Amino acid sequence: MVQTAVEKGMSVLCLTEHMPREETDFYPEEGDAHTEASLAKLYDDFYHEGRRLQETYADRIQLFVGFESEWIRESSHTLIKSLLDKYPVDLFVGSVHHVHTVPIDYDTPLYHKARDIAGGTDERIFEDYFTSQYEMLRALQPPVVGHFDLIRLKSDDPDLSFRRWPGVWEQVIRNLRFVAEYGGVLELNSSSLRKGMKETYPQVEICQEFLKLGGRFTLSDDSHGVDQVGLNYQTTLKCVERAGITELYYLAPTSKVLGPISNHFPNVRWSSMPIAELEQHAFWAE
């Protein structure tokens, strides 16, 4: 994946493996293949290989290493904190993939199971999703917020406007406001496009609201394989332009003049690039 990023002309890449989880929360295909110990080793192997690659490819690409969190219940906070204590990561992505402890983006039957628990409608499960997301945001204040509106993936209308339901939209604005207040960055996640949706996570209308609040954005392909590295970034850029976003943020090493994004992540800072300049980058030329 790193070699592919180099070949495509990328200059910055952050590697974020999913965090280990308790056996209760294994995905269906993990039950026979993994134990809690093997998932923990999987992340440990990833972290150290990521650091090795960071040094090996330092003259070709700026690499950073972190993880993507899994907020499933309140006790998730303990697991995430222990991971942060053990590994000096460059940053982590705060994400929600479960509602009522049931995965909502794995497949449609599991989404329907979670929706039934929530009350049987997309509106009800959307409300519960953004409530859980708010709990995650308040507990962790993640430097990057992952696929903000992931909940729409398996819904009856993945391209719907959240404004359809005033209660849901109010929660969306509340969560965006909180992220803006603590200085979090929203990822513009292109994986929604390869999954058949018309716009990135988050949708253009959500990006516009976050922009009004002074919010910042960064690019993410959420790639789980070589063929997904930088996939659909061209379409993502069109969403960026429709939303009125004029600059995107990316990670860079700290310096004597420019300090870190927070005390928890002392080695990295946010830097920005105007969209007009980004379009001239070697990646877009390819």
Taking 70 as the threshold, does the pLDDT of residue 286 lie above it? no
Helix axes 122-140, 76-86, angle to 10 degrees: 40
> Who's near 160: CB < 8 A, 6+ residues apart?
152
Both tokens of 286, joined, read 């390819």
- Tell me how far apart the alpha carbons of residues 10 and 62 are, in angstroms, rounded to a whole number: 9
pLDDT of res. 112: 98
Instruction: Give the pLDDT score at 34.
Output: 85
Short-list 126, 149, 143, CA closest to 202: 149
Query: What tens digit of pLDDT does each residue of 109-124 get?
Result: 999 999 999 999 999 9
Residue 174, class by beta-carbon neighbours within 10 Å (0-12 exposed, 13-18 middle, 19+ buried)? Answer: middle
Task: Say whether domain 68-285 belongs to CATH 3.20.20.140.
Answer: yes
| pLDDT tens, residue by residue, 39-77 | 899 999 999 999 999 999 999 999 999 999 999 998 899
User: What is the average per-residue pLDDT within 125-142?
Assistant: 97
Note whether 283 and 230 are within 8 A (CB): yes
State the sign of the Cα–Cα–Cα–Cα dihedral 280, 201, 144, 222.
negative
Cα separations in angstroms, 85 against 73, 80, 88, 265: 20, 9, 7, 12
Asked if pLDDT for residue 256 goes beyond 90, the answer is no
pLDDT digits (tens, 9 = 90+) for 150-172: 999 999 999 999 999 999 999 99
- The pLDDT value recorded for residue 264 is 86
Question: CA 275, 281, 286: angle at the middle one, nearest 5?
Answer: 120
Question: pTM of the entire structure?
Answer: 0.95
Instruction: Enter the DSSP assignment of 200.
Output: P
